[in-house]
Structure 1
Amino acid sequence: MPLSLQAAAPARARRRDSLAGARQVTATAFAAQGAAVAAVFTTVPGIQQHLGLSSLVTTVLMVTVALAAGAGSFAGLAAIRRVGAVAAMRCAAVATAAALLLIGWAPGQASVTVAYLLFGMALGGIDVSVNTRAAAVERAYGRSIFSSFYALWSVGGVASALLTAGMARLGRPPEQILTAQAALVLALALTIRSHPIADTAASGTPSETAAVPLGRRMWAKLVPFGLVLLVAYVIDSTVSAWSTVYLHQVLAASLPTAPLAYAAYQAGTITGRACADHLIRRTGPAAVIRAAALVAATALAALAGAPGWPYAIAAAGFVGLGVSAFTPLCLATAGRLQPDAAEAILARLNLFNYLGVISGAAASGLIGSSGHFRLAFAIPAVLALLPLVTARSFAHDARLRPGVHHT
């Protein structure tokens, strides 16, 4: 073997190891985010009972989280430009764990409102930073891997939901449950390390291209992806924020049983996201979006009409299966519109995310508080068909067309 090739082999091995490390750390950060979100949503009934909150007040708190997350997303963008994506997502994950502790130990309505506000800010920060890092890692790999990150997001959500259910079955109060959840998120956050990758635009160090202008047409290009993302988060926020309450109040499930709908929903997303990258490469993103929309709409209708909590848990699993591909496909495709400013694009796209969270959590909460939780799940079933109209926009990305493979 020529000496030049012998010298190059260790360098290639180091690059592969660094890229694999970057992928693993990014997946861990997604898992921490998923666990934190599940920790908040699955403890809503316990916090309601503990502090004597009405359904309307709880709805306002969930909207507060979404509004704060929107602000936190742009704060996270500023942090990325200053310290890099990896440092930003590590700090945001630690802040998220601290906010969970504050929610659990809040003595009254005013203090828990502040705690939820801080949680939303931290959540927005980790959201934009992990997606920026994931976009950079996917570009370095040169093939579709975005869904695998969101699969780990769902794994974290399932683990957290099962932790809530298990501790509730043991009779633990919400402050102890959220303390355990905060410890889980913190343990994951402390494993986040920086690994250099070939893509320097969002590689974990402060980006030199962060101030690249996006152009006047970028909003128009983002609209189709934004609409799908909005639908995804209307569905996600409705199921995440209110499925536990729905099972407990409408379908007479016990407090230990009620979080299992959220766990089933996240298990469905794990299954879908584990298969999504392969299906995208095989059939193309447009076909995946269309199939996912039909599955999600059907499953939401079944959830709305469930005669008992076992049927609702099964339906929630299929909702997760259907909605699983929406978010990673939107973010991955949008991030490739202008790779040298991916973090700014993703921060813009997150506005649709939080608009979906706000409208989904608020509308379903208001409808549910009036005693019509079944209607709160039926309305998103209709919205789930909207991606059928926008699916062709995903077909324009040559990197994701069927038969196009990259190593």
Structure 2
Amino acid sequence: MAGDRHPPEPLVSHLQSAGIPLSETAHTPTLCFVPLLNKLGSGSTTTTKPPSALTRLRIVLTVFFALDGFIFAGWVVRIPAIKEQTGASSSALGLALLGVSVGAVITMVFTGRLCRRYGSHPVTVVCAVLLSLSVALPPLTHSAAALAAVLVIFGIAYGGINVAFNSAAVDLVAALRRPIMPSFHAAFSLGGMVGAGVGGLIAGSLSPTRHLLGLTLIGLVVTAIAGPALLRLSPPAAPTDQPAKGNAPHRLDAHTRRLVLIFGFIALCTAFGEGALADWGALHLEQDLNAHPGMAAAGYSLFAGAMTIGRLSGTTLLERLGQTRVIVAGGATAAAGMLLGALAPTVWLALVGFAITGLGLANIFPVAVERAGALAGPSGVATASTLGYGGMLLGPPAIGFMADWFTLPIALTSVAALAGVAALIGYTTRR
């Protein structure tokens, strides 16, 4: 299941038809003869965007992934303050957070169709504007019901942009013929780390209203700069030896649907943990381990930083180990790390557990979404994203209910259980 390490034969014509920069496969000795062979085979045609256009597209998509993580993390680190402002109990807060889930999951179901009709790039830009505007709404509420209502709007934007830019990224992965999907999700994690870090630094001195309004301004400025660049770049054409997913039939055969659902469920199991730590990690450190609010906010920043490191090395790991080993090893590592993070008696041990969990979860979600997109195009991305981000967004309210029934540390061990399930599914379906 691993990505190819060597260019297929015939070498030059295949590379030219795929539009791949020769430097990306320069480790192959055969490329010493590329200049001569290019002259002999100059009659071949290119079916994808020039390498420079692909590079620009990769950069712009990376910016939107980072912006999404930055805005989302800026919101989650202020959840304790919003909880106090609204006077909500853990279960009431869990129900309010369900608003994000409802908005996102419903939107994800239809975003694949929007991407096929209007293109993934325009949908990405529109959702980025809505995301930037909606993040300023939660601190304006003073009840759990009002918070839930505005979080539905936030969830609509969040779900839409995630399907749209993941669809665009899948097209680019196919054009480049390299497993670069983790690098985009590394940008999301890096944005989350920065957003959480900034939130932790200003949590004691800046109100949630001013903080989240600042995120709105930053989001609109970044979208105003990166949006036109993305709209000018059309999606790359599929390589000649692969079907064009945009023209693929909308109704998938039963076998493909099962595979897409399997990858979607793997994404759900691991994204559950990401959502749980985003919304409850800081509260666990502050409430159960008596951490300072700034230190509590740093917990998610550390988790996101570990995910960033793991995803930055994701392409190399996938090329060397293959997708099955990455999924199995990642799930097992995340399960062990989360058990430590949830049950540790001290703040520092819990932080170590959060970091280990981030490393383990890092590459499972992007691999699952990329494989679903390769199988079924935007529909596959939408299905896997709906399940995956559904797990991320349904996880927090589930943790809230379990925290009321048991305790928050016990509730967080469910993250470890689902990470182990993802590893088991990845192993049993390896063929």
Fold shared, TM-score > 0.5 on shorter chain: yes
Structure 2 CA distance for aligned equivalents of residues 315 and 90 of structure 1: 36
Q: Which residue in 2 is equivalent to 1:260?
A: 298
Asked if 1 retains the 8 angstrom alpha-carbon contact of 2:168 and 2:235, the reply is: no
1:228 partnered with 2:266: yes
Match of 1:189 among 204, 211, 223: 223
Residue in 2 that maps onto 1:360: 395
Instruction: Quote the RMSD (CA, aligned, Å).
Output: 2.7
Q: Residue 376 of structure 1: CA displacement?
A: 1.2
8 A contact 1:210–1:344 mirrored in 2:
no
TM-score (norm 1): 0.88
Structure 1 pair 210–124 and aligned structure 2 pair: CA distance change class (3 A): farther
Contact 1:261 1:316 (8 Å CA) reproduced? yes
Say if 2:216 is the partner of 1:212.
no
Higher mean alpha-carbon deviation, 350-359 vs 369-378, is at 350-359
Contact 2:112 2:381 in 1 (8 A): no
Quote the offset at 1:337 in angstroms: 1.5
SS of residue matched to 1:385: helix
- Listed one character per residue, the Cα deviations across residues 104-151 of structure 1 (whole Å, up to 9, x for unaligned) are 333544433221110001111001101100100101101100000000
Q: Indicate whether 1:369 and 2:404 are aligned.
A: yes
Give the Cα separation in 2 of the matches to 1:55 and 1:131.
32
Aligned to 1:304: 342
Question: Rg larger in 1 or in 2?
Answer: 2
Q: Is the 8 A contact 1:140 1:197 kept in 2?
A: no
In structure 1, C-alpha distance between the alignment counterparts of 2:96 and 2:143, rounded to whole Å: 13
- The equivalent residue for 1:66 is 101
Partners of 1:228 and 1:208 lie apart in 2 by 25
Q: 8 Å contact 2:87–2:143 — kept in the other structure? A: no
Percent same amino acid at aligned positions? Answer: 23
- State the partner residue of 1:400: none
Separation in structure 1 between the aligned mates of residue 429 and residue 174 of structure 2, nearest angstrom? 17
In 2, the alpha carbon distance for the partners of 1:36 and 1:149 equals: 16
Aligned to 1:337, what secondary structure does the other structure show?
Answer: helix
- Using the TM superposition, give the Cα deviation of residue 215 of structure 1 relative to its aligned residue in structure 2, in angstroms: 2.5
1:390-405 aligned at under 5 Å gives the runs 390-392=425-427
5 Å-filtered alignment, 1:112-123, equals: 112-123=147-158
Offset of 1:381 from its aligned partner? 1.3
Quick check: 2:284–2:408 contact (8 Å CA) kept in 1? yes
Query: Counterpart of 2:21?
Result: none
Shift of the alpha carbon at 1:181? 2.0
Change (3 A) 1:371 1:208: closer
- 1:243-322 matches, within 5 Å, as 243-322=281-360
Equivalent residues of 1:67, 1:354 under 8 A apart: no
The Cα shift of 1:275 comes to: 0.9
Please give the alpha-carbon distance, in whole angstroms, between the structure 2 residues aligned to 1:378 and 1:254.
Answer: 23
Residue in structure 1 matched with residue 363 of structure 2 by the alignment: 325
CA distance 1:76–1:278, shift in 2 (3 Å): same
Q: TM-score, normalised by structure 2?
A: 0.83
Deviation string for 1:181-207 (max 9, x for gaps)?
Answer: 222332332213232353269xxxxx9
Q: 1:377 to 1:13 in 2, by over 3 A?
A: closer
Deviation readout 1:37-79 (Å, 9 max, x if unpaired): 2122111101111222222221011122112101111342233
Mapped to 2, the partners of 1:52 and 1:394 lie a distance apart of 46
Correspondent of 1:39 among 74, 85, 89: 74
Q: 8 Å contact 2:189–2:308 — kept in the other structure?
A: yes
Measure the CA separation in 1 of the matches of 2:111 and 2:308: 26
Instruction: Identify the match of residue 337 of structure 1 among 359, 364, 375.
Output: 375
3-state SS of paired residue (1:258): helix
For the residue of structure 2 that corresponds to 1:259, the secondary structure is helix
Deviates further, 121-130 or 185-194: 185-194
State the Cα deviation string for residues 265-315 of structure 1 (Å, max 9, x = none). Answer: 100100110111101101111111121112101100101122122222221
Match of residue 136, structure 1, among 171, 192, 203: 171
**1:6-42 deviation line (CA, Å, top 9, x unaligned):** x999x99971110001111111111111112212211
Residue range with higher mean Cα deviation, 123-132 or 58-67 = 58-67
1:175 is aligned to: 209
- Give the Cα separation in 1 of the matches to 2:68 and 2:391: 18
Unaligned residue ranges in structure 1 (runs of 5+): 202-206, 397-407
After TM superposition, the structure 1 stretch with the greater mean CA deviation from structure 2, 286-295 or 141-150, is 286-295
C-alpha contact 2:48 2:237 (8 A) present in aligned 1 = no
**1:165–1:257 contact (8 Å) kept in structure 2:** yes
- Number of matched pairs: 387
